[in-house]
Structure 1
Amino acid sequence: MTMGTERDNYWTRPNRRFARRTFIAGAGSLAAGLAISACGGGDDDDSTGETPTGQGTPSGQQTQPGATTAATPKKGGTLRIGSSIYPSTFEHMAYAGLTGDGRVYNQLLKLETGQKLVGDLAEKWEVPDPTTYVFQLRKGVKFQNLAPVNGRELTAEDVVYTVERARKQEFLTRQLWTALDTIVATDPYTVKVTLKQPFAPMLFHFGTSVMGVLAREVVEQFGDLKDPKSRIGTGPFMLTEARRDEALIYKANPDYFEAGLPYLDGVEITIIPDRLGRTVALRSGQVDVLTRNAGISDMGEATRGTDDIEVGISIAENVTGFGFQHPFEPFKDLRVRQAVSFAVDRQEWVRAAGGSDEGGKVIGFVHPFEDPYALSEEETGKLQRLDLAEAKKLMEAAGYADGFELSTMSSSADTAGLDALAVIQQQLAKINIKVKPDPNDFATYVRRLGTKQFDSYFNGWPTILDPGQNFNGNLTTNSPQNYWNANVPELDAMNAKQLVETDPDVRAGLIQDMERWNYKNPVCIPAYALGGWTAWQKYVKDYDHARPGNAAGWQDQLVWLDK
């Protein structure tokens, strides 16, 4: 039997994570270098729950987790955040990024910086055997005092209801629970989970923000969770107003179970689609925090001529890449997919999207931070090699020496990705593939992605939680996020083995083999994890810019304003 309040062995520590490194730069030290960390993807981090995206620190550069201070936190004030994206849906179980709202909801477990799982609604848990998990809930946790729950106490039945709802066919969250046999409330504060077989990523699924615990009566009243008014949980903030494409307004939950938290009276997220406009809003004092901007080329604009703004740099957690529809020609032919892989220079994508060679990192499906699961940089470089002669040879063998036209869908909100897509156009033109970019507003992009209405697409995959999940969740034949309709029985068999493997070292080898397989038989083409920057006014304290994207904002309860 194993027990814990955080991960302390294989079953409560599904993988061995890196120690994230980040740094804060003032106006005079932005050019010093980059530091490793992790954050969301695209142009923004998790400010609206919509994302799911280096170099070592320079000699002598102090590393810190964020805007931290040893001073006593002050109560009051509203944190004003500038973000680029309004939520595409409030029905978070149907959202392609599989992230929820950490300001409103709590899960059984939660992610801290460094991808460490700790208790949230679960005070403790035990794993008596590899297929059984028992969670003991905190007592006295109340739902927010809003109709129809009106501040009633949360119980184990609410956890059971949430998981059972997530297993429904209409929700993307169903992929998280394929190994689940039963989940029952054995008493008002105990949840017992039984699996069909050992499942290595299971604890991470209880910690993902998309599994924020719901009240049955909220769903029964609203029918679904598409109405912002249905966003009612147990979290530190209450969503009190949502103005489409304009703003999200949160107020502190006075009945929050963490004593003394949140420090803030509220959080206001202003939607500013224009990248330069967000920077102007920060410099003019209209917002306190500018959430993650992809790339580093314009980072200096935030602090130019001022000592009142700090900047944190991070590398995205998610994977940006190039995917295609498999059932149709030409990508039905493996040789065409292989040709595309040989024809692209992924480092040029990083330069275009990130502003320099240091603006991101070329990666595979397993993030390089996922040691020991990731392949070495040397092996990755060989597998990702640029070989135009081989690419042309494969195109000719497949009958496409003269090439073809290819519509490539992307999100217009991902300006860095659009820059990389322009480079892809140039690269694939060398093997006579004429790429036609097809940018969409974010809501349309998510809808088309989920309904598989595209020929190819270039963007990111959801935030990494477990090292095998980018395969299990995106590449396998029956995954709801197999957007490219790939039929890959060989990879399915490899994936089935890694999911049930209880030895971390053996599992690492299986996942590495899956990475090698995808390079030789491209289901799609992973490209890079993008660097990016977050900026905040110096009076904003304890703002952790390296927060995991999937944490979806719960850390705002720890932020305070020194003014």
Structure 2
Amino acid sequence: MSKYWSQWHRSQLTRRRFLAAAGTAGAGAAALSLVGCGGDDDGKDDSGGSSGGSTDVPTKLEDLKKLSLEEMRTKFSGSRFKNLDGYKKGPEPGGTLRYWFVSLPDWDPTGANGGLMASYMFAHNQLIQIKVNDSLKNPNFMEFEPGLAKAMPEQPDNLTYIFKLNEGVKFQDVAPVNGREMTAEDIVYCSEAYRKSPAQGPTYEQVDKIQAIDKYTVKFTTTRPAAYFISSLATPFHWIFSKEQKESSDGLAKKPIGTGAFMLDSVQDNGGYKVKKNPSYFRKDPVTGKQLPYLDGIETTYITDPAQTLAAYRSKQFDHYYPDSKEKWLQVMETDPDSVTQVTTPPPSFQPYIAMHLTNDPLKDVRVRQALSLMIDRDSIIKNLHQGMAGYGYGQDWTFFDREWPWESNELGKYNKFDPKEAKTLLDAAGVKDLNLDFFMQAFAGANFEVWSAAAGMMNAQGVKTNIDAPQDVATQVSTFYGGKFKHLAGTGLLGPGMDPDTFSYHALHSKSVKNYYFVNDPKIDDLAVKQRETFDTKDRQGIVKQLMDYDLDQVTRLWLVTPYKINVRRPNFYNLIDTEAAWNPLGWGSLGVDLAYRRTT
């Protein structure tokens, strides 16, 4: 057990003691233990800058330990990065960015793993994209910008989207495409392929026609109003690839070849990868006007031991690191106090929650689901597992409602609280006794596993027996949940992928949606889910989504837990490695922004 945790939380439960108290210490106890510290190199980088991008943040460890959630998210907000001295001085070309990440066994965005591609967008571009750079006014809100398009689309009516393309954009000079120009025909070809693809298909489900009007103009026509279309199209797995590569003998799987800033140089099986600068890249920095990319290359290393990953950052082998807890962040700041820290609002599309198979007894009965929700003490999970660095969970994007931070408990209905007495009353009314539930988990260790295990322990404490199955085989984890093979409960973490309210409304809940993994079948939900996706007026759509949200919470279609805040650290001489709400850079959807990343040496 880490000395920092025991010193800091002397009066509180440790993770292991908390989980033991919840009745789950026997389930994966080795996985629940905290890792120790890595190396202790405390050398400094040259460019200077304090841990929050401003001089008014504390740097002493004892002061950092005392910071509340509100202080953390204010003092370490990414909106402060534009005030860093190195950012004001501007970019320097050259250098290599190094961080932890694993390569893909398959690079085909149209295949079964297409959803994973959003975290590897170094070699491709798409029509429009998420804006990711240090100059953002507030990175906790998503902004979009043109990519291969010159501007955001013209919309003469609610069924038509016209994109004008940048001219002279070239594919990378790699066989079989060999550096030829990208045109509107490539957009049409890729979009037609994505219509039939599992990850991207939902974006195009209401698209009727995709036409190349001329060499640099593409027109999309929908059959019905699709308020979700633009934000869904910005999700970074709508890569533009070439017909030549897709129809070649190797196809798209072996190597990513696009119009992007970096070209794949080498890759290790079940390991990291290296990329090098694309000399014919078309984009220029919108702030400085300089040619991109700035970096010469990127090197990733895959390390399975979290302690070694932390040690690699502390020994200067990595330039970027994601601590998965406040405790690990404190370990970093003890030896590397000049690290630049960012605290980001949690992404609604990735949070630990519990799915339920609603067609199976006893979960058909809403009273049973409501009772289970009332058995979970979310405040204890936030305090003891996340050291206060988490909010209350629910699967809808709060930023759509013009708010920066996650939902408050009093906004999540009357069953998203801890009330074991009312839980017993509901079970008695349902005539349910000696409840025995199978609980499948999509992970066997890590932060999400700990949250699910705590929730299971809380149910056990109220007399509900949970039979935990947490397989280590990834194929089993995926097929059991997404194939609907779990019997009662399933601990999972992904909602989407996507960032439009439609992701969390229609796709998650409509009875005919292929992403309704919970078997929800409710006419009222279906009606509201369709209505919101066809409503363009933002305020009207907000009202419909909120109505759906309130009804869904009352029906308890899923057991919501907590949504952890995101912490990242980087070397003080690296810039434009900012996280936004749904796009983390470089290890996530924000990878599309690595063309803007740079390192300063002075």
TM value normalised by structure 1: 0.84
Q: Per the alignment, do residues 498 and 478 of structure 1 end up closer, same or farther by CA in structure 2, a change over 3 Å counting?
A: same
From 446, 451, 466, the equivalent of 1:420 is 451
Q: What SS does structure 1 have at the residue aligned with 2:275?
A: strand
Partner SS, residue 248 of structure 2 = helix
1:498 aligns with 2:517: no
Aligned position for 2:437: 405
Question: Equivalent residue for 2:412?
Answer: 380
Partner of 2:554: 520
Q: Which amino acid aligns with 1:560?
A: Y
Residue equivalent to 2:397: 367
1:376–1:438 CA distance, 2 compared to 1 (3 A): closer
Q: 1:375 to 1:492 in 2, by over 3 A?
A: farther
Task: Indicate how the Cα distance of structure 1 residues 119 and 26 shifts in structure 2: closer, same or farther if over 3 A, else same.
Answer: farther
Partner amino acid for 1:90?
A: W
Match of 2:262 among 212, 230, 237: 237
- What residue in structure 1 maps to residue 339 of structure 2? 309
C-alpha separation between the residues in 2 aligned to 1:253 and 1:371?
40
CA contact (8 A) 1:109 1:206 kept: yes
In structure 2, the residue matched to 1:74 is 92
Distance 2:224 2:413 in 1: 36
Q: 1:55 to 1:340 in 2, by over 3 A?
A: farther
Corresponding position: 1:90 with 2:75: no
Note the C-alpha offset of 1:30: 3.4
Whole-angstrom distance in 2 between the partners of 1:411 and 1:197: 39
Give the Cα separation in 2 of the matches to 1:223 and 1:325: 40
State the 1:467 CA deviation. Answer: 2.6
SS in 2 for 1:264: coil
In 2, distance between residues paired with 1:264 and 1:484? 44
- Are 2:491 and 1:458 equivalent residues in the alignment? yes
Deviations 1:220-279 (A, max 9, x none): 11565433x2x1111111122221321022111111101411111111111123222211
How far residue 34 of structure 1 moved from its aligned partner, in angstroms, is 6.5
**AA matched with 1:531:** Y
Which residue does 1:332 correspond to in 2?
364
Residue in structure 1 matched with residue 422 of structure 2 by the alignment: 390
Give the conservation status (yes or no) of the 8 Å contact 1:235–1:253: yes
Contact in 2 for aligned 1:319/1:526 (Cα 8 Å): no
Q: Which has the higher mean CA deviation after the structures are superposed, 93-102 or 58-67?
A: 58-67
Matched, 1:163 2:191: yes
Aligned mates of 2:83, 2:306 — CA distance in 1: 22
Distance 1:408 1:350, change over 3 A: farther
Cα displacement (A) at 1:65 = 6.0
Closer/same/farther in 2, CA of residues 307 and 452 from structure 1, 3 Å limit: same
**What is the Cα deviation at residue 439 of structure 1?**
4.5
- Which residue identity does 1:268 align to in structure 2? E
Aligned mate of 1:110, from 107, 129, 146: 129
Question: For residue 224 of structure 2, what is the aligned residue in structure 1?
Answer: 197
The structural deviation recorded for 1:285 is 1.2
SS in 2 for 1:293: coil
Read off the aligned partner of 1:271 and give its amino acid letter: Y
Q: Distance in 1 between matches of 2:482 and 2:432?
A: 29
Matched, 1:251 2:270: no
- Matched to 1:314, the amino acid is T
Tell me, in whole angstroms, the C-alpha distance in 2 between the residues paired with 1:451 and 1:89.
21
Contact map agreement 2:496 2:503 (CA 8 A) in 1: no
**Whole-Å Cα distance in 1 between the matches of residues 232 and 408 of structure 2?**
27
TM-aligned CA distance change 1:327 to 1:60, over 3 Å = closer
> CA, structure 1 residues 62+212, in 2 after alignment: closer, same or farther (shift >3 Å)?
closer
Q: Which residue of 2 aligns with 1:347?
A: 379
Q: Partners of 1:529 and 1:138 in 2: how far apart?
A: 39
Listed one character per residue, the Cα deviations across residues 109-140 of structure 1 (whole Å, up to 9, x for unaligned) are 01014311111011022100111110000001
Q: Which runs of 5+ in 1 are unaligned?
A: 1-21, 37-53
Give 1:525 deviation, angstroms: 2.4
Letter in 2 for 1:557: D
- For residues 251 and 59 of structure 1, the distance between their equivalents in structure 2, rounded to whole angstroms, comes to 31
Distance 1:506 1:56, change over 3 A: same
156-165 or 360-369, which moves further after superposition? 360-369
- Paired residues, what number? 517
Give the Cα–Cα distance (whole angstroms) in 2 for the partners of residues 551 and 245 of structure 1.
Answer: 21
- Structure 2 gaps, min length 5: 1-50, 132-138, 285-290
Aligned to 1:221: 248
- Give how far 1:313 is off: 1.8
1:303-337 Cα distance to aligned partner (Å, 9 max, x none):
21334422222232134211022232332333322
Q: For structure 1, which segment, 306-315 or 400-409, has the greater mean C-alpha deviation from structure 2 after superposition? A: 306-315
Q: Determine which structure has the larger helix proportion and give its number.
A: 2
Q: Distance in 2 between matches of 1:263 and 1:61?
A: 21
Distance change in 2, residues 1:244/1:384 (3 Å) = same
**Relative to 1, partners in 2 of residues 1:55 and 1:263: Cα closer, same or farther, differing over 3 Å?**
closer
* Contact persistence 2:78–2:579 (CA under 8 A): no
Indicate if the aligned counterparts of 1:247 and 1:269 stay in contact, CA closer than 8 A.
yes
1:283 alignment partner, one of 314, 324, 330: 314
CA deviations on 1:491-514 (whole Å, 9 max, x unpaired) are 111100011112211111110111
Q: Deviations 1:439-493 (Å, cap 9, x if unpaired)?
A: 5355553344333333332232235521332122222222222222332332111
Q: Conserved in 2, the CA contact under 8 Å of 1:352 and 1:423?
A: no
The correspondence for 2:296, drawn from 245, 265, 272, is: 265
Partner residue in 1 for 2:355: 323
> Aligned partner of 1:264: which letter?
L
- Is the alpha carbon distance of 1:509 and 1:61 closer, same or farther for their aligned partners in structure 2, counting shifts above 3 Å? closer
2:511 is the alignment partner of 1:471: no
Q: CA RMSD of the aligned region, Å?
A: 2.9
User: Whole-Å Cα distance in 2 between the matches of residues 369 and 173 of structure 1?
Assistant: 23
Q: 2:392–2:407: 8 Å Cα contact kept in structure 1?
A: no
For the residue of structure 2 that corresponds to 1:244, the secondary structure is coil
Query: How many angstroms apart in 2 are the aligned matches of 1:66 and 1:433?
Result: 53
1:136 to 164, 182, 186: 164
> Is this contact kept in 1: 2:108–2:114, CA < 8 A?
no
